[in-house]
Amino acid sequence: MIGAYTIGKKAVTFGYKRYGVPGAVASGGAALAGYLVVRRALQSSTNDGSVDSAIDAGEIQSAVEEKGLGAVTDKGTLDRAINEDEVGSPFDMGDVQSSAADETDEFAEGAGEGDSSAGN
């Protein structure tokens, strides 16, 4: 599993190679935001405070690069990105998905973007 710094760095490199400086900022920001959204949603749905080791940041990065920030609300993305054995406490994936959707909407509103929901 890789952390927030690594996902941001990889996404910035990918965006820079593909689209230059604007691409680096956009892809790095979106990938990091996606990771943080999933982490906050998982933390709010569990009793355990440390969930970083349970999240596959590479999976989130790939999903965000392919489908945008709304991909973090997709149940399939969450199933692939969260290792349930590493969480340490029981949680409901539906609650995580709902929390991720709320977090994504808040982020999109704060960034001044339009609809960020993905098709579920």
- pLDDT tens by residue, 3-62: 666 667 777 777 777 778 877 777 777 777 788 788 888 877 776 666 777 788 778 878
Determine the pLDDT at residue 117: 44
Determine the pLDDT at residue 53: 74
Task: Note every long-range contact of 48-55, with CB atoms under 8 Å and residues 24 or more positions apart, other chains counting.
Answer: 48/87, 48/88, 48/89, 50/88, 51/87, 52/1, 52/3, 52/4, 53/1, 53/83, 53/86, 54/1, 54/82, 54/83, 54/84, 54/86, 54/87, 54/88, 55/1, 55/81, 55/82, 55/83
pTM for this prediction:
0.60
Determine the pLDDT at residue 112: 54
Determine the pLDDT at residue 2: 56
**Tens-place pLDDT, residues 79-110:** 888 887 777 777 778 888 788 887 777 766 66
